[in-house]
Structure 1
Amino acid sequence: MSVDVAWSEQPGVVVLPSGASVRGRRIADVASPADFALLLAGGPAPAWAHRRIRWPDFWVPLDRADALDALREALRRAHAGERVEMACRGGQGRTGTALAALAVLDGLPAERAVDWVRTSYRPRAVETPWQRRWLRRLA
């Protein structure tokens, strides 16, 4: 018998400044269904609606406009009450950067984004100086 855990209580779920919840995870992890996934790496696609952006490991998105459009779509869906998730190979660098970017797009000052995601999600989220610089340039 499986127990349905509330979305807000699942591992990797963070609460954005507006109160919307978003889950971060590794692509390969078995996860309960979401309504929409933003995939930040190659790997298996979930059975639910998803969008993939080109984002090399340890780097920043290759197409800034596409990445911002995808992040804004994810944020709109989260504000509408959908279960939204971000996922990359390790669930840390790209996923952490994407979660921090969502928080900035949601109103968090860019200079607080890295500390926020490291406190809210994972202590080593946002792994590289260029990921931090990319976040500062979102504002």
Structure 2
Amino acid sequence: MPAGPEPQYGIYLLGKQPPSVPWDSRWIRWPDFRLPAEPVVVVFREALRRAGTERVEFACGGGRGRTGTALACLAVLDGVPASRAVEYVREKYDPHAIETPWQKRFVRRFVGAETR
């Protein structure tokens, strides 16, 4: 665990189920360098809502591809234009975030659609 307070809610973006944690959490089946294997918009909206009053954690194996993609989708839900969300996350979080062309395309098309 990194230094600092524990999260109150965690979203884990992994190909395999993560170990259990003592806080509320969700696992999104999301293999490395790929896209989520299930709809994510409802989970991301919940995380954004909870982040207003709680410490929310997003994590994957390396913290760049899947986590960066999720953060860009959160940015879209929070009002950043989908066409700028990848650039925004790279500026504010990590210059190497969102690693693959299909992750970039996922963000551009995300737009908070209820079916994703």
TM-score (norm 2): 0.87
Matches of residues 108-119 of structure 1 in structure 2 within 5 Å? 108-119=80-91
User: Percentage identity across aligned positions?
Assistant: 54
Matches of residues 43-58 of structure 1 in structure 2 within 5 Å? 43-58=18-33
TM-score (norm 1): 0.73
Superposed displacement of residue 44, structure 1: 3.0
Residue number in structure 2 paired with 1:70: 43
Name the amino acid aligned to 1:46: V
Residue number in structure 2 paired with 1:102: 74
CA separation of 1:129 and 1:38: change in aligned 2, threshold 3 A: same
Residue number in structure 2 paired with 1:83: 55
Superposed displacement of residue 45, structure 1: 3.3
> SS state of the match for residue 71, structure 1?
helix
Residue number in structure 2 paired with 1:13: none
Structure 1 residues without counterparts, runs of 5 or longer: 1-29
* Larger mean Cα displacement after TM superposition, 101-110 or 37-46: 37-46
Q: Distance in 2 between matches of 1:118 and 1:57?
A: 19
User: For 1:130, which of 68, 91, 102 is the aligned residue?
Assistant: 102
Structure 2 residues without counterparts, runs of 5 or longer: 112-116
User: For 2:13, which of 30, 34, 40 is the aligned residue?
Assistant: 40
